Amino acid sequence: MTPTALRENVDREMREKLQPMRYSKKEQLALACRMLAAEGHWANGLAGQITARGDEPDTYLTLRFGLGADEATPESFIVTDGELRALDGVSMPNPATRFHLWVYKHHPKVESIVHTHPEGVSALSMIGRTIEISHMDATPFFENCAHLPEWPGLPITDDEGRIISQALGDKRALLLAHHGLLTAGHTIAESAVLALWMEQAAQVQLKAAAVGTIRPVPPELARESRDFLLKPSITDLTFQYFARRVLRADPTCLQASPSHPTENSR
């Protein structure tokens, strides 16, 4: 078979034989929190956020402020409006989530956002470097990772939201100087998997740079690899793999949890 025919056959088999995602939005968000925490994305405490569009227009799902990603369950997620006000009238979202609203407003295809400060990406952000496409595993970011070269400050006002939203452009990832990463996916699975892959790419890049000269992947091969790895079936399968790891580590993580200790009594 020709290369084109083989690729078409792989696409057909993935459509016909792979199981679609069966977790609810809140379950996916809880699993995403757990898998990102397990990979060091929330090692510094509460900094970082994950969000998704809600079921109603101009509503958003986000983790209740004060909870760590490693303790998230589906019921840990609250619904806010477009001004970051919790619709239950009681809960508080992370105020730094405000810049997500700007990304959603100006990028209608984005369904979920991850923002974290993992070690490798944070190191690159401190020296003004972005992801170099020098390995197959980094190719999802070929022509797909923007760079915000100056830190606009703590992202809790609309100014930072405007700057970050503009810097993202038409890409699905952004490396923020002196800060961390942002991934903007067409699905929750895609945003979570891109965040995992981005940190892995940063870690490998730092190790390679310490011992030699980094050689880029040829553009035509990088583009082909990117387009394959970002197929929804691939990001969904990758998400489900990490979800199984999370569930093996804590089989109860999708069950109800005790009330958050800082939550107002009702």
How far apart CA 260 and CA 1 sit, in angstroms, is 58
Q: Sketch out the chain's domains with CATH numbers.
A: 24-249 (3.40.225.10)
**Contact in structure between 183 and 113 (CB atoms under 8 Å):** yes
The string of pLDDT tens digits covering residues 102-135 is 999 999 999 999 999 999 999 999 999 999 999 9
Confidence of residue 223 (pLDDT cuts 50, 70, 90): very high
* The pair of three-digit structure tokens given for residue 175, joined into one six-digit string: 């490396």
* The pair of three-digit structure tokens given for residue 174, joined into one six-digit string: 């952004």
How far apart CA 205 and CA 203 sit, in angstroms, is 5
Tell whether the model's pLDDT for residue 3 goes beyond 90. Answer: no
Q: What's the average model confidence in pLDDT over 216-224?
A: 97
Beta-carbon contacts of residue 181 (< 8 Å; ≥ 6 apart):
114, 115, 116, 117, 118, 121, 173, 174, 175, 195, 198, 199
- Position 142 scores a pLDDT of 98
257 vs 114, which has greater pLDDT? 114
Confidence of residue 10 (pLDDT cuts 50, 70, 90): confident
Helix (H, G, I), strand (E, B) or coil at 145: strand
The string of pLDDT tens digits covering residues 78-93 is 999 999 999 999 999 9
Q: What's the average model confidence in pLDDT over 193-197?
A: 98
Mean pLDDT of the chain: 92
Q: Ramachandran region of residue 81, left (φ > 0), alpha (ψ -120 to 50) or beta?
A: beta
How far apart CA 197 and CA 202 sit, in angstroms, is 9
Q: What is the pTM of this model?
A: 0.92
The string of pLDDT tens digits covering residues 15-71 is 878 887 889 999 999 999 999 999 999 877 788 999 999 999 999 999 999 999 999
**Contact in structure between 80 and 93 (CB atoms under 8 Å):** yes
- Position 261 scores a pLDDT of 44
Confidence of residue 257 (pLDDT cuts 50, 70, 90): low
What's the chain's Rg over C-alpha atoms? 19
Within the chain, strands assigned E span: 49-53, 59-63, 77-81, 112-116, 145-148, 173-176, 180-185
Side-chain half-sphere CA neighbours of 191 within 13 A: 28
Q: What's the average model confidence in pLDDT over 247-260?
A: 82
Confidence of residue 153 (pLDDT cuts 50, 70, 90): confident
